[in-house]
Structure 1
Amino acid sequence: MGERTARMKTVLTPLLCREARALLDLDTAEVAFVARIPVAVLETFEAGHATPSETVLATLRRVFELGGVAFTPERSKRGVELRVCA
């Protein structure tokens, strides 16, 4: 539960979503395809016009984390970092 709780502390915001996507060098269509959501849902969220369901937010977060993104708004100016594989 400790790791899950730590992961859930940072809410996926439109800014963090854009930064994570940029860090992985993916466009909205690529992320939407992998997350299996409409591109318009992602674009609307990133623009700050609407917040998708918790399920969609969790899916987006999982996509980014599987790509190697660590959400670190408390440590990083961008709020995201690539995890270092040992």
Structure 2
Amino acid sequence: MYQEPRTTLLTPALCRGARGMLDWTQADLAERAQVSRSTIRDFEGGRHELHRATEAQLRLAFEQQGISLTSNDREIGIALTRTNASDPAAPPT
């Protein structure tokens, strides 16, 4: 039976980049996504792929902090939306 190739939006580099934008350690992400730190370490180190459910947990943890992961045919990107008006980096409202 033919199975479509699995496409993931979250790559190890994007995971590291999103954590960096939030100034999170691997332990911070693991706690917020409710996964083990070794899962984050091994994924970011290229030792294994993520299960779909684990990827969803990581993406949700990032999204809850304003991180948006985007992808199209040519680009993959990370954006951080600031919602705190007292933050000088926040976009004007």
TM-score class normalised by the smaller sequence: 0.7 to 0.9
Higher relative contact order (CA 8 A, sep 6+): 1
| Unaligned segments of structure 2, at least 5 residues | 1-6, 84-92
Spell out the pairing of 1:7-26 with structure 2 (5 A cutoff).
11-26=9-24
Which letter maps to 2:60? Answer: R
Aligned to 1:64: 62
Aligned to 1:35: 33
* Cα distance in 2 for residues equivalent to 1:62 and 1:16: 14
Which one has a larger percent helix, Structure 1 or Structure 2? 1
Q: TM-score, normalised by structure 1?
A: 0.77
Q: Percent identity?
A: 34
Dislocated runs of 4+, deviation >6 Å: none
CA positional deviation for 1:78? 8.1
- Secondary structure in 2 matching 1:81: strand
Paired residue total: 76
* Cα distance in 1 for residues equivalent to 2:19 and 2:71: 15
| Unaligned segments of structure 1, at least 5 residues | 1-8
Q: TM-score, normalised by structure 2?
A: 0.71
